[in-house]
Chains A and B, each alone.
Chain A
Amino acid sequence: GAGVSQSPSNKVTEKGKDVELRCDPISGHTALYWYRQRLGQGLEFLIYFQGNSAPDKSGLPSDRFSAERTGESVSTLTIQRTQQEDSAVYLCASSSYRGLSYEQYFGPGTRLTVT
Chain B
Amino acid sequence: AQTVTQSQPEMSVQEAETVTLSCTYDTSESNYYLFWYKQPPSRQMILVIRQEAYKQQNATENRFSVNFQKAAKSFSLKISDSQLGDTAMYFCAYSLLDSNYQLIWGAGTKLIIKP
Contact = CB atoms under 8 A, between A and B. Distances in A.
Contacts of B75: none
Contact of B45 (A31, A41, A45, A91): A91
A56 B100 contact: yes
Contacts, number: 54
A42 B104 CA distance: 9
Interface stretch (A18-26, A64-72, A76-84, A101-109): A101-109
A41 B33 contact: no
Mostly, the A contact residues are: strand
Contacts of B79: none
A75 to B, nearest CB: 15
B96 to A, nearest CB: 10
A33 B103 CA distance: 10
A47 to B, nearest CB: 10
A98 interface: yes
Interface of A: 31, 33, 35, 40-45, 48, 50, 56, 59, 89, 91, 93, 95, 98, 102-104, 106, 108-109, 111
Interface of B: 4, 33, 42-47, 50, 91, 93, 95, 100-108
